[in-house]
Structure 1
């Protein structure tokens, strides 16, 4: 069975490797509080850029938000004279709140996510009893990407790949020779993402990972998270497809689907939910916007009891 989207992504990376297309410049910002890497990728010729997986600071005890982390992105973009075309989300994160709407107000850019966000909105709209006023059609976003959709960052070719398994809506964005893969893989010494959230599935995650691993070995891979593997004393969020295929402790070459699914399912059963899952999903399923104010003018985050 032909995978034309993957073939296009492979050809795109190979053009950069051969010097026939420009390589994007990537600057990453790591938020240690949520272990999240935000990436700013730009075309050095046109200075056009995308911001990928931004972070809104949120203090759970007080419910207060701030923009210290996102402001670093703003400062960098302005200092480098970049023009932001896109605010990209690899999926609706369960471990941090998105700062994309605030960054849009500061820097511009279309807000985009995978088209399967509608499945996430349907499931979590019910869990949080969001009501009929919460649209479950993805309309909170400027663009919904489908598998194989092509776009550009300035003069650099880009393509969206649907890589479900962690959630049904996960996307990887291959921009030039750089792949931004969200929560599918971690650094080779840490392994892979969990697959036990609603709509997640370990076998589907395996197939998505193997699809990504078909990209050329030299493809630069930018991760959304790092948690420091045992024995490593620094955070890291950039690797290569070749390193993942060779060294990933969960899914290196030679690991089969049955073995991976058994490992991932057993491991997931031992994991606690992310600390910020309740605020994160409620906000991120709305495109990074808070729930509407109630009659007293205050916005509220709901915590369903015994629901997850």
Structure 2
């Protein structure tokens, strides 16, 4: 089996490994999954050690069709070592580039802590599930009610004593959410780092105009606010992946969204770039698992295999 590299970094304001930070600000652990370029987060309230997991990754090797859990298990190890109790698992949207580990983690945590944390996502997920359920011929019973919490726009919720807000950020996908926790926003695939810009908008329900509005919503926040991204694909000249940038730095440096870029220029730039992008390598695999909140397809009665559907493209003459 290939070995998947995961980078773990603790971004809390610790001093000498203590958790002496302001009660209103979270402890943040960012974990980078190199194979899919995905940032995962464990965010905890320092006063209660209640935590959430944001956008966890399930390992999948398309060459062998093997699913493994070492990346998700590293999250479990971190949570155990820090003494956290996970209150929720949060998804920003239905990802098209990696399989979510949400259901696996939910089951593991139910055993570890005696509490089964709900998987949260935006309320528009049901539209996305129906769309891709029909596209791939997935029985509705396999994706209905798989998410335990559907957030309303601007819904306030607590992580221990931390006040958090679910922010609707459409554009990349119509159901997309960000989570504001203290002076931090976990923006999923809305904004990338300044040298990359923003995420594509050519998926069903995507919109460059909507993404511009969502980005301005983020960049209208106070300048010190940290925007934590869902992915990084660092160019060679930069080197290491970076999990966050401040609103102030995005407004000055973001190649797609700095203050001098108008809506019209952004929409034209985004549409031109999207027209040249190929589909994500794990698009069909990811969507079929992720509308199920990470549950694998039910085993077939004959042979017990779990199956996903992949479209064939025919080129040349009819045959």
Instruction: Give me the TM-score of the superposition, normalised by structure 1.
Output: 0.90
Report which structure shows greater RCO (CA 8 Å, sep ≥6): 1
**2:98 aligns to what?**
96
Q: Tell me, what secondary structure is at the counterpart of 2:227?
A: strand
1:176-205 C-alpha deviation (Å, 9 max, x unpaired):
111100000001111100000111111111
Paired residue for 2:76? 74
CA distance in structure 1 between the partners assigned to 2:108 and 2:135 by the alignment:
32
Deviation at 1:304, TM superposition (A): 2.1
Deviation sequence 1:7-28 (CA, Å, 0-9, x none): xxxxxxxxxxxx9852101001
The equivalent residue for 1:305 is 312
Q: Quick one: distance in 1 between partners of 2:158 and 2:141?
A: 34
Does residue 115 in structure 1 map to residue 123 in structure 2? yes
For 1:282 and 1:20, locate their aligned partners in 2 and report how far apart those are by CA, in whole Å: 41
Asked if the contact 2:136/2:288 (under 8 Å) is kept, the reply is yes
Q: Deviations over 1:230-279 (max 9, x none)?
A: 52111111111111111100111121111101000000011111111111
In the alignment, is the contact (CA less than 8 A) between 1:127 and 1:304 conserved in 2?
no
CA contact (8 A) 2:23 2:45 kept: no
- The number of equivalent residue pairs is 287
Question: SS of the residue aligned with 1:152?
Answer: strand
How far the C-alpha of 1:146 sits from its partner, in A, is 1.4
Unpaired stretches in structure 1, ≥5 consecutive residues: 1-18
Cα distance between partner residues in 2 of 1:141 and 1:35: 25
Superposition RMSD in Å: 1.5
| TM-score, normalization by structure 2 | 0.87
Q: 2:46: which partner in 1? A: 44
Cα-to-partner distance string for 1:54-106 (whole Å, 9 max, x where unaligned): 00000111111111111111001000000000100000000000101111122
1:178 aligns with 2:180: no
Moved more, 286-295 or 163-172: 286-295
Q: Give 4+ residue runs of structure 1 displaced > 3 Å after superposition.
A: 131-135
- The separation in 1 between residues aligned to 2:85 and 2:202, in whole angstroms, is 38
State how far apart, in whole Å, the 2-side matches of 1:46 and 1:87 are.
17
Distance 2:105 2:134 in 1: 29
Query: Out of 265, 268, 281, which is 2:287 matched to?
Result: 281
Bigger mean CA deviation after superposition, 70-79 or 236-245: 236-245
CA distance in 1, matches of 2:241, 2:215: 22
> Which has the greater radius of gyration?
2
1:229 Cα shift?
Answer: 3.0
What 5-or-longer segments of structure 2 have no aligned partner? 1-20, 110-115, 315-319
